[in-house]
Amino acid sequence: MTRRPETYIYDALQAANAIEAFVVGQGYADYQESALLRSAVERQFEIIGEALNRLRQLDVELFARVRGGRQAIGLRNILIHGYASVDDAIVWATLEQDLPLMQVDLETLIASNPSDQ
């Protein structure tokens, strides 16, 4: 069953919002010390990367409107295939710098096409 592009946008936004909720009141040191927090954040980044990869396959133009989309797919690949070389500093920097911009873009795409997810 092929899903619509809007579904992948929604999935990526839900995962981004989950990351945001997970790290409220947490700093980088908290992130490094908590295997649970790292696992939760990394899993949501995997979902974002996979959703955006599938979006890219279905609709390149929509995908191009998501800042950091290619980087999110790359991070997903590292998290899944290169798990032994995951750099906490890169994940945290992505969370702080790139994720907020991506959330804005995903929210904009959802608002511009308010169909059923």
What are the pLDDT digits (tens) for 10-50? 999 999 999 999 999 999 999 999 999 999 999 999 999 99
Q: Is the pTM of this model over 0.85?
A: yes
User: What pLDDT does residue 114 have?
Assistant: 55
Confidence of residue 115 (pLDDT cuts 50, 70, 90): low
Q: Are 102 and 67 in contact (CB under 8 A)?
A: yes
Distance CA 12, CA 31 (A): 21
Residue spans of alpha helices (H) in 1-117: 5-22, 28-33, 35-58, 60-64, 69-81, 88-93, 99-112
Q: Are 16 and 103 in contact (CB under 8 A)?
A: yes
Q: Are 17 and 7 in contact (CB under 8 A)?
A: no
Could you tell me the residue ranges of all domains in the chain? 5-112
User: What pLDDT does residue 84 have?
Assistant: 82
- Amino acid occupying residue 49: G
User: What pLDDT does residue 35 have?
Assistant: 95
pLDDT mean across residues, the chain: 93
**What whole-number percentage of the chain has pLDDT above 90?**
88
Q: Which residue's structure tokens are 């290619």?
A: 70
